[in-house]
Structure 1
């Protein structure tokens, strides 16, 4: 995932952040509000490591899955539906009812 996923859906990532860094505090996360530099600084302080090491740790964390709250976000769904259009046969629209094409069962 990219940082913009985190930034745009900051509160949805709280559980994932606390799972990864159990000492993280929700009040502190509220203050960070998706700011990447502030988050790196916070994780560096929280884990008592250099900011570069914290940045690497966060980069590794970003390779994980999107939280379900983000995946279920209608903005994300709409984008996924639009992208699915490239897999549809000619003449079928990504928003069309599947029953019209005999594949809705």
Structure 2
């Protein structure tokens, strides 16, 4: 994952941040608001590290998975649908109606 994923979805990462850095505080995270430099300084301050050490620690943390709140964000739907095309049979469209599976809303 890239920092822009974190920045664009900052609150969705709070649990992952607190899991990695248990001493982190949500009020402080609200203030940081996804600013990478501020977060590096925050982590460095919490751990008594140099900023370069904190930057590396954060870089290692970013290698992890995106939180489900981010993955399930509707803004990602079209991209996910496009990626699913490799699993759709020949002659079918990955955006086709899937009413035959019983999960589409019924009109009426």
TM-score (norm 2): 0.83
Instruction: Report what 1:28 is aligned to.
Output: 28
Q: Which runs of 5+ in 1 are unaligned?
A: none
Equivalent-residue separation in structure 2 for 1:88 and 1:57 (angstroms): 40
Instruction: Report what 1:9 is aligned to.
Output: 9
List per-residue Cα deviations over 1:13-56 (Å, max 9, x = no partner).
00100000001011110011011111111111111101111011
Q: Size of the alignment, in residue pairs? A: 101
3-state SS, counterpart of residue 96 of structure 2: coil
Q: Which runs of 5+ in 2 are unaligned?
A: 102-108
Deviation (angstroms), 1:89: 4.2
Root-mean-square deviation over aligned CA pairs: 1.7
2:85 aligned with 1:85: yes
TM-score (norm 1): 0.85
